[in-house]
Structure 1
């Protein structure tokens, strides 16, 4: 997934970015956003942006932007599942999701690699079997 962002942060938008209720999200509904992330040891766990190496949800409301983040990837050189449970505010006019890298884009040190697989958004009224990604198949 290509990354975007400012020079001090990088991320990949999932299903579009701000400006609309993305991925069919509806105000007042509760969702679970999950993804598997792999951070190579060469990348490390100290991104320049404090919001890096996590899942991110943001909502535009008449009183301002509301955000939620998952825990950060806890270790390197192995797949880690991240999950983020959230409720879209009842007065939200925009809702969107990002996979946050958090390392500097361009400049002296280009954005470091973080790999994501199997990202899902599910309404909390449905159950879905969780399983780790197929580690024998590598995507490049």
Structure 2
């Protein structure tokens, strides 16, 4: 019961801050001295919202999800242009594999932009189809 109350409160707080709109170019500070960095990419979309989950997530709708992936790719390019480099990328959610074609394109871009040696992706076990596994393998998920 307490866990449900805490998770519900967290979801309400996060949902107020979570808005899917183009807010222009984000302010990103210069990378500074070279050092090992990891990048966390959050895909907040889920086909079904599990009542126990307190992660930042929203119900999946295709158009906003595709727009979100496009915005992620713009941001990845922005970080590359500013001189950032990431040796590891972690993709979480939500359910990152909800649109596997968009995820594959995004990961492929990130691997082309940065010197990625480690790449992991969370998913729902129900999403581990041959098609999705093949896409993750093509994208270089290890």
**TM-score bin (small chain):** under 0.3
Return the TM-score normalized by structure 2. 0.24
Return the TM-score normalized by structure 1. 0.24
Say which structure is richer in helix: 2
Say which structure is richer in strand: 1
Q: Which has the higher contact order (CA 8 A, sep 6+)?
A: 1
